[in-house]
Amino acid sequence: MTIISHRHRFIFLKTRKTAGTSLEIWLSDKLGPRDVIFSSEELEQIRRPFLTTMHTTTRFPSLERWTKLRMKKMLGWRPFAVHQHMTAAEVLRVVGPRVWQTYTKFCVERDPWDRFISYWRFMEHMEGHPIDIDHLLDLIESGEDGGMNPNIHWWSNWPVYTIDDRIAVDRILRYERLNEEFASLCADLGIDYDGKLPRAKSGIRKSSDTTVGLTPAQNARIAKLFSREIAHFGYAVPSIDAASSTENVKR
């Protein structure tokens, strides 16, 4: 999901497996009539302004889609150029350099090993069957999809918040301390934050899924895949002290 808020002068880029849906639900209540939001299809509880998204927002989806397509064709509306999980480069092309340079741009990033476990469980959920984690790593390293859901290609968030391999946003909130850092961001933006983010898309990952269940070889492969994030944010390989008493992640 991408949010471009002219009321609060911010651009939110949604990264994957980083509580982005929870943030979009909370932020949607703070938007103005001219703000642009493109959110997940399944979020029925989120407010989607009729004139800023191609998503259907009424009880007459066929008529609404026809109307919006006609309006886009006749008026060349740029808001409809905004789509879910846009990269920084894509948003820059839509909003132009003036808005891009003057608005606060932010996103969220997460420990690569912890996020990979959530990503793996998400892929299992999308496919509807267990997936061997080493097989998933094999596919990612080879660049192939193995006939899986297209989400398999979206394993890294790095392309979302970089342009030409350089950080292009103003703030990257850390998932590990999201509530604290989001509160600080809201204060800087002049938005009242109640300290409570909704829990969305939870329940896919098992409570027993922890990084100590990863083998040393799996840790090393994940570290290689996410070497840029690790170098920039200073993430460290998870401790394996407790791994001897924890069954290795096999699926």
Average pLDDT across the chain, whole number: 81
CA distances from 114 to 163, 168, 205 (A): 25, 24, 11
Residue 194: burial class (beta carbons within 10 Å; 0-12, 13-18, 19+): exposed
Q: How many CB atoms lie within 10 A of CB 197?
A: 16
**Residue 113 one-letter amino acid:** W
pLDDT surpassing 90 at residue 18: yes
Q: CA-CA distance, 131 to 136, in Å (whole number)?
A: 7
Q: CA-CA distance, 205 to 167, in Å (whole number)?
A: 29
The end-to-end CA distance of the chain, in Å, is 29
**Residue 44 one-letter amino acid:** E
Q: What is the largest CA-CA distance in the chain?
A: 64
Ranking 34-38, 62-66, 116-120 by mean pLDDT, the lowest is 62-66
pLDDT surpassing 70 at residue 23: yes
Ranking 196-200, 208-212, 224-228 by mean pLDDT, the lowest is 208-212
Tokens 């999201």 map to which residue? 178
**Residue 158 one-letter amino acid:** W
Ranking 121-125, 178-182, 239-243 by mean pLDDT, the lowest is 239-243
Ranking 149-153, 173-177, 178-182, 200-204 by mean pLDDT, the lowest is 200-204
DSSP SS3 for 204 = coil
Q: Are 147 and 135 in contact (CB under 8 A)?
A: no
Alpha-carbon radius of gyration of the chain: 19
Q: 2 or 194: which carries more pLDDT confidence?
A: 194
User: Strand runs (DSSP E) across 7-110, as ranges?
Assistant: 10-13, 36-38, 104-109
**Residue 251 one-letter amino acid:** R
- DSSP bridge partners of 107: 172
What average pLDDT does range 178-199 have in this prediction?
95
pLDDT of 198 reads: 85
Q: pTM value?
A: 0.77
Q: CA-CA distance, 33 to 35, in Å (whole number)?
A: 6
Q: What is the pLDDT of residues 57-88, one digit of tens each?
A: 555 667 766 776 676 666 554 545 555 568 99
The β-bridge relationship of strands 171-174 and 104-109 is parallel
